[in-house]
A and B are shown apart, each in its own frame.
Chain A
Amino acid sequence: AQSVAQPEDQVNVAEGNPLTVKCTYSVSGNPYLFWYVQYPNRGLQFLLKYITGDNLVKGSYGFEAEFNKSQTSFHLKKPSALVSDSALYFCAVRDLGSSNTGKLIFGQGTTLQVKP
């Protein structure tokens, strides 16, 4: 069965420091991976995706993610965190077991807290 795991419920970083939010996945076949961000009282906003090609994917708001096939990971990163980056982050993988439905399997979410 396909699955996504976000091993950390919360990540705390100081403003200006680099941040990493971890995600690991389990799929059969090539993965299609996504990161979303959710600000308080808002819906999920798409940040970036990995489909194929370069293992380092760049997205919105200065975020990037590194795909590592051998470690089945897709960690979200940013070189210098901002207080405004504080939010809930979700990793997701496309459910290719359900053909042509477009369904996503989401991780449990990681709360990022950036302190001034």
Chain B
Amino acid sequence: NAGVTQTPKFRVLKTGQSMTLLCAQDMNHEYMYWYRQDPGMGLRLIHYSVGEGTTAKGEVPDGYNVSRLKKQNFLLGLESAAPSQTSVYFCASMAGGFIGNQPQHFGDGTRLSIL
């Protein structure tokens, strides 16, 4: 049972390059989320999706785009990488139904460095 899988696990980019981070979940969850984690700042929500084909902006969406073409996958794109986007990125998913008491389930992260 893989749960939430993120690829790649590590990546180094040069400023201005683009890339896509992939999140895949095998739990048939409706909701998916992308966070970034920076020292002393906890987790900040970048974008999220409440179902296949839907996306919405979170707290810090600038410089990122997302797509949810398939229910199990949630892609995070960096259009033109900047050093300020150096971070650890986490994907999470959550079941539907009564969502008040549902926990989010996290992947192990992608460590991204922008030079």
Contacts and interface: CB of A to CB of B under 8 A. Distances in A.
Interface string A1-39: 000000000000000000000000000000010101000
B67 to A, nearest CB: 18
Given A43-B90, A45-B106, A46-B105, A32 B56 contact: no
The main secondary structure of chain A at its interface with chain B is loop
B4 A43 contact: yes
A41 interface: yes
A102 B106 contact: no
Interface residues of A, number: 23
B106 A43 contact: yes
Given A43-B90, A44-B90, A101-B56, A107 B42 contact: yes
A106 B58 CA distance: 13
A108 B40 contact: yes
B42 to A, nearest CB: 5
Interface in A89-103: 90, 94, 96, 100-103
30 contacts: A32-B100, A36-B106, A41-B108, A43-B108, A43-B109, A44-B43, A44-B90, A44-B92, A44-B104, A44-B106, A45-B106, A46-B103, A46-B105, A49-B101, A49-B103, A94-B99, A100-B99, A101-B31, A101-B48, A102-B31, A102-B33, A102-B48, A102-B94, A103-B33, A103-B48, A104-B104, A106-B43, A108-B40, A108-B42, A109-B42
Given A34-B103, A44-B104, A102-B94, 13 more contacts: A32-B100, A41-B108, A43-B92, A43-B106, A43-B107, A44-B106, A51-B100, A90-B43, A101-B31, A102-B31, A102-B50, A102-B99, A109-B42
